[in-house]
Amino acid sequence: MLPWPKDYNLLLFDRIDSTNDEALRLAKSGIKGNFVIVAKAQTNSRGTKGKPWESIIGNLHMSILLQPAVSINRIKELSFLTAIVLREAILEFIDTLKAPKADIKLKWPNDVLIEGKKVSGILLESTNIQGINYVIIGVGVNTHFIPNIPNISATSLLSEGIILKSPDSFLNTFMDRFQIHYSRWQKPDSFDSIKKRWLEFSYNLNKDITLDDGIRKVSGIFRGIDNEGARAICVELVNGELCSFSSGRVTYR
């Protein structure tokens, strides 16, 4: 197993309401440094926009608490960075375990898919407390079990032939790669390379999609993500107009 990165404090819980909630409590306490919070079980786990997410003992549930010294406008970039790291970690286990090759794609804004099925999700939250910007990256990985979530096709690493001894083995590999990418990301103008990498493995790029942001519902062609602070999805409408949406539910046709 890889050594634990020295710049990250590790907190382990058997059961907790939510690792993101615990990270927020730490931030409110004025704590300094980077923290990784891991729980075997969560009693109030959630996904994007508060959507419920089934937390199953045996899967990986974690949050990373950071205090990046960058503009607050860049925070949403971390969702794309984390997705890239997750993909790399899964591929490393496929190679190490000689598991079956898999098509691993990154779905805007915060999902990782194997063969079109969700295996991991990212929940990015941020807050400013007494002038300090805190960022929380919640990560759930279906290492062993498949959650039962309505209207979502999901899978697990185990179901795809990637057989881990425990969620901890994936955690160490993920964090080993995360610390490298995160260190690079804090330098100016680093998003261009992240964007290029993310688009290389994006799910259904240049394909027809429907997006519902709660205000309007549009159909068009998924053309990528913009370079503004929201890192919005770019959709080419039927009239040729290119529109950007910072949030919304995307369905693919």
Q: What is the pLDDT of residue 59?
A: 95
Residue 141: pLDDT above 60? yes
Residue 58: pLDDT above 80? yes
Q: What is the pLDDT of residue 241?
A: 94
Residue 253: pLDDT above 90? no
Q: What is the pLDDT of residue 53?
A: 67
Class of domain 8-199: alpha beta
Mean pLDDT for the chain?
92
Mean pLDDT, residues 141-168: 92
Mean pLDDT, residues 47-61: 77
Using pLDDT thresholds of 50, 70 and 90, give the confidence band for residue 13: very high
Six token digits for residue 141:
């990985």
Q: What is the pLDDT of residue 235?
A: 95
Q: Greater confidence, 78 or 109?
A: 78
Report the predicted TM-score, pTM, of the whole model to 2 decimal places.
Answer: 0.94
Q: What is the pLDDT of residue 20?
A: 96
Mean pLDDT, residues 176-198: 92
- Bridge partners (DSSP) of residue 118 are 113, 154
Mean pLDDT, residues 142-156: 91
- pLDDT > 70: what percent of the chain? 96
> In whole angstroms, what is the distance from residue 71 CA to residue 174 CA?
25
Show me where the domains of the chain are located: 8-199, 205-252
**What are the contacts of 230-238 at 24+ separation with CB within 8 A?**
230/76, 231/76, 231/77, 231/79, 231/80, 231/109, 231/191, 233/108, 233/109, 235/209, 235/211
- pLDDT > 90: what percent of the chain? 77
Domain made up of 205-252: CATH architecture: Roll (2.30)
Mean pLDDT, residues 83-99: 96
Using pLDDT thresholds of 50, 70 and 90, give the confidence band for residue 47: low
Please check whether the two domains, 8-199 and 205-252, share a CATH topology.
Answer: no
Mean pLDDT, residues 131-146: 95
What amino acid occupies position 67?
A: Q
Cβ atoms of residues 185 and 228 within 8 Å: no
Let me know if 13 is exposed, middle or buried by CB neighbors in 10 A (0-12, 13-18, 19+).
Answer: middle
Q: Greater confidence, 62 or 48?
A: 62
